Structure 1
Amino acid sequence: MKKTAIILGATGLTGSILLEKLLNDNRYESIKLFSRKKIEGLPKKVQQFIGNILELETFKDDFKADEVFCCIGTTVKKTPNKETYKRIDFGIPVTAAKLSKENNISTFIVVSAMGANEKSTVFYNRTKGEMEQNVLLKNIKNTYILRPSIIEGNRNENRILEKIGLVVLKLIQPLFMGKLKNYKIIKAEEIAQTMVNLANSKVSEEKIIPSNKIKEISKKIKNN
């Protein structure tokens, strides 16, 4: 049976790679994108719903699919206002999970971040942690929360500090053993592939998946 997928954040680094994978995956007959701006040149397989996704509940009637992939995320540099930041990184994923539950969508996969902790004194980590806890409270059958380390990939935006961090991490990665494996650089392609694998094989019993496990799952099964 062919499936329908929803992607939130399809214009971002991981989301754009995920979109490409689903376009080439014959298990999916329809892909729904919810975003502020239209992506030009996509095939008929894709339906685009354009509007203010900070008010995602207005899309409830169209928010129907077999699986939801949430790749939404911003940065402190792009969104310095904490209230707006939280509406994006917390509000959108949690609302998406709420709509998924209400519309009987049984698979919800969201990209969080390493260090997410609802009790953290760091605003970024606390926001991610609060998002995770609220998503889990929706009790969607197949819920997966991915916690990647620093993500490597070709971004449209210029993140100087992140690029410096990538260079430093690449130099010291051979020293990362045991629990330190979670701090190794992870490719956006690996995250996207893991999302596809989880949706189609349920290859993990864990709900919260650390970075090194994301790498492992990305290698297990490839698209049909």
Structure 2
Amino acid sequence: MKIKAIITGATGMVGEGVLLECLEHPEVEQVLVINRKPGGLQHPKLRELIHADFFNLESIAQDLQGYNACYFCLGISSVGIGKEEYKHITYDLTLHTGQLLATLNAEMTFCYVSGAGTDTSEQGSIAWARVKGATENALLRLFKNAYMFRPGFMKSSPGQKNVKSFYSFIAWMYPIGRWLYPAGFCTLKEVAQAMIAVSLSPYSKHHIEVKDIVELAKR
């Protein structure tokens, strides 16, 4: 089975890293990116759909049919924004997208980029972790083949343009961190390879921590 994947957030650091790996991977046949603005990348496998409103995906539903994987890399940081706005983007937008894709492509593998420390009990004291946990739980109810990716520090891939300044500034720490605390450090290439791996063959866990990402990337 070849992978036909939808990628969201491809103009961000994580999404761009996943996209670049997918375009080079022999098991990925076709990639559709949904962007609010042009990403500036061209490739024979790649189709770009410019669509500003992720809360109105029904108007492009016919373009989303026939895909067997979604790598959902769209998201925002909780720093500097209100709780309701964060929930609106993190939970509401993600679930709106997920519900439509689950209707269009029932057997789709859905990979969601969550985060280390996510609270699936939805009862903890940290607001962003509760919202992420609620989002994970809802997606797991929607999709039979859903995987919640919880990377820690991620090293960008060669050729990336959209690298957060924070990551660029502390990139020198990656080899040290990987050696001292391997459970908290991985590469974006490994994240993408792990997504591709679970799309090709089911994995026993649905919450994918860094150690799982590294293991899956070796497949």
TM-score range (shorter-chain normalised) is 0.7 to 0.9
Residue 158, structure 1, aligned to residue 159, structure 2: no
What is the CA distance between 1:151 and its match in structure 2?
A: 2.1
In structure 2, stretches of 5+ residues that fail to align are none
- Judged with a 3 Å threshold, the aligned counterparts in structure 2 of structure 1 residues 2 and 115 are, in CA distance, closer, same or farther, namely closer
* Aligned mates of 1:200, 1:172 — CA distance in 2: 30
The equivalent residue for 2:42 is 42
Whole-Å Cα distance in 1 between the matches of residues 137 and 83 of structure 2? 19
The Cα of 1:122 is off from its aligned counterpart by 1.1
Alignment match, 2:150: 147
**2:13 counterpart letter in structure 1:** L
- Tell me: CA distance 1:130–1:166, structure 2 relative to 1, closer, same or farther (3 Å): farther
Over 3 Å counting, the alpha-carbon distance change for 1:105 and 1:5 in structure 2 is farther
1:125 aligns with 2:129: yes
Distance in 2 separating the partners of 1:100 and 1:199: 15
Q: Is the 8 A contact 1:136 1:143 kept in 2?
A: yes
The one-letter code matched in structure 1 to 2:218 is K
- Once residues 56 and 110 of structure 1 are traced to their aligned partners in structure 2, the CA distance between those partners, rounded to angstroms, is 20
Aligned to 1:130, the other structure's residue is in SS state: helix
Q: Give 1:216 shift.
A: 1.3
Give the alignment of 1:26-105 within 5 angstroms.
26-58=26-58, 59-64=60-65, 65-77=67-79, 80-105=81-106
Taking only aligned residues, the RMSD between alpha carbons, in angstroms, comes to 2.6
CA shift digits 1:197-224 (9 cap, x unpaired)? 111122x21111111111111112xxxx
Identical columns (%): 26
Aligned length: 210
**1:91-128 Cα distance to aligned partner (Å, 9 max, x none):** 23222221221012421111111111122221211111
Instruction: Measure how far apart 1:5 and its partner are.
Output: 1.2
Match of 1:218 in 2: 217
- Mapping 1:18-29, distance limit 5 Å: 18-29=18-29
TM-score (norm 1): 0.81
Give CA-to-partner distance per residue, 1:65-107, whole Å, 9 cap, x none.
Answer: 1111111121134x62333322222223222221221012421
SS at match of 1:116: coil
For the residue of structure 2 that corresponds to 1:119, the secondary structure is coil
Offset at 1:172? 6.4
Q: Identify unmatched segments of 5+ residues in structure 1.
A: none
Q: Is the 8 A contact 1:31 1:47 kept in 2?
A: yes
State TM-score, norm by structure 2.
0.82
